[in-house]
Structure 1
Amino acid sequence: MTGPTEAVEADRALKAKHRTMWALGDYPAVATTVIPELGPRLVSACGVQRGDRVLDVAAGSGNAAVPAALTGADVVASDLTPALLDAGRVLAEERGAVLAWREADAEALPFEDGEFDVVMSCVGVMFAPHHQAAADEMVRVCRDGGTVGVLNWTPQGFIGRMFAVMKPYAPPPPPGAQPPPLWGDEEHLAALLGDRVTDLDARRETVHVDRFAEPAEFVNFFKAAYGPTIAVYRNIAGDPDRVTALDRDLTALARDAMTARGAMEWEYLLLTAHRRVD
């Protein structure tokens, strides 16, 4: 039986692993050159405006936090990975955005109950391993009547399918960890939020991706820039046959998703709700 001390140590080790994974490669390049529209889309859906107190959970390099700050909102970008926050500070300065950056675990946010008018996350909180804990924290720090908004890759969409392709090549997940694309399932999210929210609005949309001219270009870019993909390749680095097989599988996935001109449509779930007023 695992005792409290062992559980704490296991969680600390898991978070350290996640912190390291997201520091691999160049996630800011993914956010700014592949999916730059997603952050502003979430900000718009959440109705962020001047003077709002906004928290971006698992903000990465600020793909949603920076656009929110540019509206005149008072924004805090929080993330587990300091390297991403450092990159975000540079990007924010380049765009003239002023906001705060805070290292924080999405499952144990260092903020007061009801501190924010808007609590949001753009393809970020979905990677927290314990979904209910992360959802509980997002609701907790949102004020009564405030907005909770998330934008997540769906299991059926391109990125969800990519994670399914990579799963056989990845190490087994630790006990209790849940698959990230579940955050893109309406029923799963509704269950996580429960009756603590009202006016829940969930819609599936797609982002148009034309960054890659051919499937091999997509594979090579994600192998170099995207932390989860890099981590999977490192797991099988000692087995050239499995590396070749994963190259083949990811190339086939991209080929299936691409139009003749190389464009792809990546599906995501956009959900907004209001914290119930007690």
Structure 2
Amino acid sequence: MTQTRTQTDPDRALKAKHAAMWAMGDYPAVATEVIAPLGPALVEATGVHRGDRVLDVAAGAGNAAVPAALAGADVVASDLTPDLVETGRQAAAAAGATLRWEVADAEHLPYADAEFDAVLSCVGVMFAPHHQEAADELVRVLRPGGRLGLLSWTPEGFIGRMFATMKPYAAPPPPGAQPPPLWGDEGHVRTLLGDRVTGVDARRQTLPVRRFADGAAFRDFFKRTYGPTIACYRGLADAPDRAAELDAALAALGDDALREGTMGWEYLLVTATRA
């Protein structure tokens, strides 16, 4: 098996922190109650079919891995967070899907070169802090002629705006870490992948979200379920005035996005073929 670079102690510490963040709250509730349609859309766009060897990177609760397995593919679902791997394993079993679940770092995938026919990530790999290292691994484990499918929130879309709203209240990122919504910028993704892929198709699409009656309901749901939001508020535990400011800002963001009971959450769907 090939690794792109050697992991350092600071890198391991950063990944442990990331794993702990995503174990906070109840991310599977986000996956099942809000963004469930994204996984099947990614699987369909990538052309996953029976017999394919498929890797879902940063699989979370299995939004893409489970529908890929139900389509008859031989699926490995990998994620940095052991809690999500276990929750995903249980959810897959309940759905009647057979697949392997493994703890793995998107920047140091424990798989052989060219091992998979398709590699997917549904709003997952975008949260790996070092974008080029993650992109290199996605391409490395994909066979020539294999299909890559990536779905990421855009910087200008609702979730990108949510991260921008939280940024002044959050701890600064570690040196070298890049903003997750950059994966929702077509030019950035094309640069990451370079000439190692062909036939790149990038489409901005919108997920209709009807889960929230108003901005406050959106804010409170994310404060309860979503690791990055929970971590941001924990950092404000000794600054109640700042936490109240963030409360108001997130509620206003949600209210501004609602149109007749529906929010539109924009994402970028990228498919490509390994050269």
Q: The TM-score by the shorter chain falls in which range?
A: over 0.9
CA shift, 1:262, in A, is 2.1
The 5 A counterparts of 1:24-43 are 24-43=24-43
Runs of 4+ in 1 over 3 A off after TM superposition: none
Structure-2 separation of matches of 1:78 and 1:219: 29
Structure-2 separation of matches of 1:238 and 1:26: 24
Equivalent in the alignment of 2:270: 271
Q: Does residue 219 of structure 2 align to residue 224 of structure 1?
A: no
Equivalent in the alignment of 2:110: 110
Structure-2 separation of matches of 1:227 and 1:169: 15
SS state of the match for residue 8, structure 2?
A: helix
Q: Does residue 155 of structure 2 align to residue 146 of structure 1?
A: no
Q: Does residue 209 of structure 2 align to residue 209 of structure 1?
A: yes
Equivalent in the alignment of 1:236: 236
| Aligned residue identity for 2:160 | G
Equivalent in the alignment of 1:96: 96
The 5 A counterparts of 1:42-191 are 42-191=42-191
SS state of the match for residue 221, structure 1?
A: helix
Equivalent in the alignment of 1:23: 23
Equivalent pairs counted in the alignment come to 271
Structure-2 separation of matches of 1:119 and 1:93: 22
SS state of the match for residue 101, structure 2?
A: strand
Alignment deviations for residues 141-177 of structure 1 (CA, whole Å, 9 cap, x no partner): 0000000110000000000000000000000100000
Q: Percent identity?
A: 69
CA shift, 1:199, in A, is 0.3
Equivalent in the alignment of 2:247: 247
TM-score normalized by the length of structure 2: 0.97
Structure-2 separation of matches of 1:102 and 1:16: 16
Between 1:208-217 and 1:267-276, the stretch displaced more is 208-217
Alignment deviations for residues 55-111 of structure 1 (CA, whole Å, 9 cap, x no partner): 000001101000000001000000000100111011111110000001000000000
Where structure 1 has 5 or more consecutive residues not aligned to the other structure, the ranges are: none
Equivalent in the alignment of 1:262: 261
CA shift, 1:215, in A, is 1.1
